[in-house]
Chains A and B, each alone.
Chain A
Amino acid sequence: MSVPALQLTGLTKRYDDGFLALDRFDLTVPDGEFFGLLGPNGAGKTTLISAVCNLIRVTAGDVRVFGLPHTSWEARRQVGLAEQDVNLDRFLDVEETLMFHGGYYGMSRRDARRRAREMMDVFDLRAKAGTRAPALSGGMRRRLLLARALMHEPRLVILDEPTAGVDIELRVELWRYIRRLHQAGTTILLTTHYLEEAEELCQDIALIRGGQLLARDTADELRRRFDAASLTEVYMKAMAA
């Protein structure tokens, strides 16, 4: 059996104000899986992602990425993150955003330039190569965010509500990109509030609330376990329990 892409053991995060966002959270995401994380606002989804990506200080527990401690440099290289907020560098244009990101992840200038052009082609950003992030449309910024997360060819891609606030056309387009990425062997961890998105894309779904795992299974199994006709019904029943 291959090493899991992500393994959380007893992960706990208590913020300085005392709020317990994750409480002894255990989760294993196998290599190559398309994994969905569902839960209401404040459930702990973004905290979990931030812990994996070293953006918060973990209170207790163990986080492993492909068997490596998440703080190790090799583990960091394996993870690509597209955050919920569009956090693009306002001073850089599209090509610079991608190239500098490649540099932060250890890519040579030549490799970063080649990969940036590849990413701009994949995400239809070539015509905007010299445009600064604040001057891009909302849809373009979302694409750039995703392109940046994929720039260093990570094996685990974490997408925190990647389609929040985008129109249907772009959502379908992003689904296509993400699906293609998964087919190429990349492990995807997706958080979303759109249940149909999770049903459409994810092989396995975890429902979390109050920093704890409520249920985890395929969409079909979850429907059967909760005696529900749809994932929405599963979600409502799980959150009400």
Chain B
Amino acid sequence: MRTGLLALTHREVVRVLKLWSQTIAAPVVSSFLFILVFGLSLGGRIKQVDGVDYEVFIVPGLITMAMVQAAYSNNSATVFQARFDRYLNDILASPMRPWEINLGLTLGGVVRALLIALALLALAIPITGVPIHEPLVLVLAVALGLTLFASLGVVVGVYAESWDHAGFVNNIVILPLTFLGGVFYSVDLLPAPWQEISHANPIFYLVQAVRYGFLGTSDVSLWLALGVTAALAAVMVAWSSWLFRTGHKLKP
């Protein structure tokens, strides 16, 4: 039993729960408002996309958006804070293996994202009736997406020199890519060249994989969507593992 890994993961979850109003409640409320405002108000005009009601169509993308932002922002904040306040030294000096430290810090964001997703599902299912057609695909897509963005959060937390750096990646990279990743629309409806450009957006593939899990339909092949997300997740895990193994940016 890896006691160190369990202790660090527990510490990360304790942090998430102590800050619940900020870490859980706020993203659940804002995403639920998206479902209400966009789904129920625009849904009356748009009717159906890809054969499903609009308010149902947007739920998978909105849950994905909430999860990736939570996983990223949680981990970038917790790692940066631990470096900034130097209590990370207590962990770095301990007999924990580098992979345990990396995994323990990563899992905090994963747990937070899953709590948000479960809360949103509990709210969205009674209101929109969103189905879960392919539960195994959904679990796989969520696992890959969270691995990618939780690891990205750790990497940015290690490199960040200020709070602005962590916020910059979220506001300037993740948020726009998520909005342009087909959360609110099917990219098949876009004219050229926007449809082709959308295929260069990595978040587009994650949204498609999660949407397939919920609705059994997506704009691209499921295997392409899962493959791209898995490849990016592998790169990010390799990067964060390298940082903890070598001590780069963590140990002067």
Contact = CB atoms under 8 A, between A and B. Distances in A.
Contact of A16 (B3, B94, B252): B252
Interface in A29-63: 53-57
A105 interface: yes
Given A53-B93, A54-B93, A76-B94, A88 B7 contact: no
A85 interface: yes
Given A54-B92, A76-B93, A104 B252 contact: no
A148 B251 contact: no
**How big is chain B's contact interface, by range?**
20 to 34
**How big is chain A's contact interface, by range?**
20 to 34
Interface stretch (B68-76, B83-91, B110-118, B128-136): B83-91
A83 to B, nearest CB: 6
A104 B91 contact: yes
Given A100-B11, A104-B7, A87 B96 contact: no
B95 A91 contact: no
Contacts of B3: 103, 106-108
B170 interface: no
A154 to B, nearest CB: 11
A173 interface: no
B35 interface: no
- Most-contacted residue by chain A among B7, B14, B81, B97 (CB, 10 A): B7
A85 B7 contact: no
B247 interface: yes
Interface string B228-252: 0000000000000000000100011
B8 A105 contact: no
A104 B18 contact: no
- Most-contacted residue by chain B among A81, A83, A99, A106 (CB, 10 A): A106
B239 to A, nearest CB: 18
Nearest to B81: A90
B89 A87 contact: yes
Interface in A8-38: 15-16
A116 to B, nearest CB: 12
Nearest to A54: B93
Contacts of A103: 3-4, 6-8, 10-11
Contact of A96 (B14, B92, B94, B251): B14
A101 B90 contact: yes
A35 to B, nearest CB: 19
A76 B92 CA distance: 10
Nearest to B16: A91
A16 to B, nearest CB: 7
- Most-contacted residue by chain A among B18, B94, B97 (CB, 10 A): B94
B17 to A, nearest CB: 10
A77 B95 contact: yes
Contacts of B14: 91-92, 96
8 contacts: A55-B251, A56-B252, A76-B93, A96-B14, A100-B11, A103-B8, A104-B90, A104-B96
